[in-house]
A and B are shown apart, each in its own frame.
Chain A
Amino acid sequence: MAVDEKKLKGIVDGIVGLPTLPTVLTNVTKMMQNPRVSAAQVGTVIQSDVSLTAKILKLVNSAFYGFPNRISTVTHAIVILGFNAVRSTAMSVSVFDSFGGGGATEGFDRMDFWKHSIGTAATARILAKKMNMKELEEAFIAGLLHDIGLIILDQFVHAEFVEILKLVKEKDMLIRDAEREVLGGVTHSEIGGWLGRKWNMAPALVEVIENYHSPSTASDNYQLSCIVHVADLLTKALSIGNSGDSRMPLVNKSAWEKINIAMPALPSVLQEVLESAKKSEAFFTMVNK
C-alpha cells in the first residue's frame, strides 16, 4: 500500500524536540565507513564518552554475549566481539537514553514495550545466526527498532495515539489497523522509517523498519525483513513484553518459509528465544533511568 507522503509529512511536521543521537555514535558510524579504521581508533572515540563506555562494557560482559572472560576495554570488546556488536550496544544505549523513560499512557506500558523490542532484537539475532547470516548485529538493531514508531507516536503524537489505543481496545483491532484509521493510512512503521532517516541509519535498517510487517520479496533486504517479521511474532507468541496488540497478527507465509524452521524444531527454537530473552536482561536495565 502506498503511503500518503503528505499525510506522513503532516504528522511528523508537528513533532517538536525530537532527541538526536549522541555525537559519539554519529562519529563512530561515520568512522566505520572507512574500511581501514582500526579497533583502537573506534575504541578511543567511544571511550571519550565515559557514561556510554560504562554501559557498553556492562552489556558486552553480560550473559547476552556470553564471553567467558572479562572484557575490560571497549577496544577489547571490538576485537573480541567485533565492530558491529559494539556499535549495536552503543546504539541500544543511545536509543534507551533518548526514549527510555516517561510515558504512562493507558494501554501502552513503556517497560512492556521495551521488553518486546529487546526480545524481538534477541530473537532476530538468533534467527540470523541460524541462517548463517553475517549481519547478526544488524538483525539485532532492526529487531530493537522495528516498533520505534510507536514511541514517537506516544511521545509526540500523543492525542492521536490515545485514540488509536482506544480503538484497539474497544473494537478489538490490531494496532496497525487502528493507526491507519486514525492517521489516515499512516502507521508506526512509516513513522519509524522517518526517524531512521533522520538519524542517518543505514538504508537497509530503515527499509526493514518500514516493511517488516509484510516483507516484500522484491526488496534487497527481504531476508532481514523476514527475520524481523518472524522474530516479532515469536516474541508476541511467547508474551515477552507487549507492543500494544492484544491479538496476534497473521504470520506472512512466505516469510515463515524463508526462515525455514521445521515444525519439529519449533519447540527448541522457542526455548532458545526464551533463554535469550532472559540473557538480554542487561539491555532492559539500561532502559530504566
Chain B
Amino acid sequence: MSTEEITKLEQELDFLQTTNTGLRRSLDELTILQEMLKGISEERTIKDIISRFFDIIKKTFTVKGYIFFEKAEDKSISPVHYEHLTEWDLTEKYGINKGILEWAINEKQISNIPAICEGEEEASLLMIPFNTANKDYGIIAIGIESGADEALTLNVSENLKLSASQAATAIENVHLYKDIEEDKANISDLKSLMLNILDSLVNGVTTIDKDKKLVHMNRNAYIMFGITEEEVVGKKYSDCFPEQLVSVIDFILKETYEKGFVLDYQVNYELIGGVNIPIGMSTNVLRDDDLKIIGVTILSRDMTASQELDRLRKLDKLKSDFVSTVSHELRSPLTTIKAYLDTLINRVDEDDKETRNMFIKTIETEANRLSRLIEEMLDLSRIESGKIQLELKYIDLTEVVENTVNLCKVQSETHTIHSDIPSDLPKVMADTDRLTQVFINLLNNSIKYSPEGKNIWVKLYEQENSLRISFKDEGLGLKSEDKYKVFEKFYRVDSQKTSDIGGTGLGLPVVKKLVEMHHGKIIVESEIDKGSEFIVVLPIKES
C-alpha cells in the first residue's frame, strides 16, 4: 500500500469517525427534542404553543426575541405575539418585509436571513412557517445572536422542521378544539332555543316513541296533564301518567298508528287539583329522516278558550237577533199608539166622548204592553248577563202560591180558579219575590189563553224530592212541537185564536230563567184545544 493510499484511507476513517460522532450526538439531541415537543401538544392556547416553541429554540441558539405572525382567513398576515423583538427590528436589522414573510409561508420554507445592518453581521433572523397539510397558520421570526452560517447545521435544520411541524399540529388542534367547542355551543344554543320555542307554545306538545316512552313534553303539556313529577322523559307514559289520561293516550295512539293522525279528540280531563278542563288532542306520526315512523307527537289544546269563544260568538248572534227582534217588537205598539193619537187629535170630534174613550183605552193598553215589554226585556237581560242575584231563604211556598191566586183572581172574574194548596209541605230555598213573579206570570198566561168561563186549577204538591206547582187550564192548548218553543224569546204560537191576545213574547223566557236559577225546571203538558198544564219543579234540599 502506497503512502498516498494510506493517507486516503486515514482520511476516510477520519471522515467516518466524525460522521459517526455527529450521528450519535444528533440522535441524543433528537431524543431530548422529542421530549420537549411532547409538551407542545399539551398546550391549549396558541400563545403558549409559540412560547413553548421559543423555549425549544433557546436550547439551540442564543436568542433575542421573537414575533409570531398569524395568517388570517383572508391570507393577510399580522403580528400577534411578541417577545423582545419588534417589527422595526425586522425591517431595520434584517431587511425583512411582508413580502419575505409571505414568501416563506407560501414556500413552506424554513429560512435564516443574515442581518444587514453594520456591527450585527453575526446576527440573523430565523423564519419558521407553521403549516400542516391542510392550512398555513403563520410564521415565527426569531432573532438569533449567532450567525446563521455556523449555527444552522443540517441536523439543526432537520430538527427545526420536526419542531415546526409539531407546533403546527398543536396549533391546528387548538383551532379544531375551538371549532368543536363553537359547534357544541351552537348546537346547545339551538337546542335550548328549540326547547324554549316549544315551551312558549300555548298548546301542550308531547312526543311518545314506539316503545311508548316519553321523548319530550313541553311546559304546557306538564301543566295540562297535571304532571308534577320533575322528569318523566325516558319513562313509559303508563308509569307516570294518571290512570284516566293513560287510557285516553292508549286510545289515541292506537288511532294514530291506524289512521296516521287524530284531529281534536275531545277529553274532559280532570287535573290533580280537581279542575275540569276540556282538552282537544290532535296527533301526528313522527318520522325520522328516512321517513320511518319513530313515534307520535300529541298536540293538546285547552278548549276552554275556544269553547268560550264559541259561546261568545253565539251570544253575539243572539244579541244582534235580539236587537232586531226587540226593535220590531217595540215598534209595533209604538206605531199603534202613534196612529191612534194622530187619529184622536185630528179626526175625532172633541165632543164624541165615546169614540175618544175607545181610542184612549187602546192607547193605554198599548202603552202598558210597551212598558211591560221593556220591563221584561230588562229583566231578561239582567238575568242573562248574570246581574240578578237571588235572595235565597227557606220559605214556605203555601203562602207564595196563595198570594198569587188572590192577586190574579181580581184580574179575571169570568174564570173559575180552583186551588189546592196544602200547608204542611217542606220549605224550599228560594227568592220570594222572584217566585211570585214566576207564578203570577204563569197564572196570568193560563187566564189569558183560556176562553171566558173556563176552569183553572192551581195545585201545590210534593213529588220525587221536589215541590211542584201546577197551573192547569182548559185553554187553547199547544201543538207538541210548540210545547217548549214557548220559552224562546218572542216566540208566539202562530194561530188565529192567539192573534188578539197581547203578549210580549218575553214572559215565559223570563219565567224559565228564574226557575232555572232556583235549580228547578218547568214541565209542560198540553193538548191542542183541550188545555195546558205548566208545572214548576223546585228541588227540596236538606237544610
Contacts and interface: CB of A to CB of B under 8 A. Distances in A.
Given A37-B153, A38-B153, A40-B149, A66 B107 contact: yes
Contacts of A65: 107
Interface in A56-111: 65-69, 75-76, 78-83
A39 B154 CA distance: 7
B19 A82 contact: no
A87 to B, nearest CB: 10
Interface string B83-122: 0000000000001010110010001111111100000000
A167 interface: no
B124 interface: yes
A79 B124 CA distance: 10
Nearest to B103: A68
Interface string B152-191: 1111011001000100000000000000000000000000
A197 interface: no
Interface string B14-29: 0100110011011000
A35 B158 contact: yes
A268 interface: no
A245 to B, nearest CB: 32
Contacts of B109: 81-82
Interface residues of B, number: 36
A40 B122 CA distance: 13
A36 B153 contact: yes
Nearest to B108: A129
Interface residues of A, number: 28
A134 B23 contact: no
A285 interface: no
B150 A40 contact: yes
Nearest to B101: A68
B223 interface: no
B150 A83 contact: no
Interface string B399-434: 000000000000000000000000000000000000
Nearest to A30: B15
B182 to A, nearest CB: 26
Contacts of B25: 36
A67 B101 CA distance: 10
A75 B107 CA distance: 19
A40 B149 CA distance: 5
A39 B22 contact: no
Contacts of A81: 109, 111
B18 to A, nearest CB: 6
A33 B19 contact: yes
B305 interface: no
A143 interface: no
Contact of B19 (A34, A79, A131): A34
Contacts of A38: 149-154
A62 to B, nearest CB: 14
A79 B148 CA distance: 7
B131 A79 contact: no
Contact of A79 (B99, B112, B133, B155): B112
B413 to A, nearest CB: 113
A39 B149 CA distance: 5
The residue in A37, A65, A68, A134 that gathers the most chain B C-beta atoms within 10 A of its C-beta is A68
Q: Which 7 A-B pairs have the closest CB atoms?
A: A35-B155, A40-B149, A132-B133, A36-B22, A79-B112, A79-B148, A35-B26
Given A40-B149, A76-B114, 11 more contacts: A33-B19, A36-B154, A38-B151, A39-B150, A39-B152, A40-B150, A66-B103, A67-B100, A79-B112, A82-B110, A134-B165
11 contacts: A34-B22, A34-B23, A35-B154, A35-B158, A36-B26, A38-B149, A38-B153, A39-B112, A79-B149, A81-B109, A83-B154
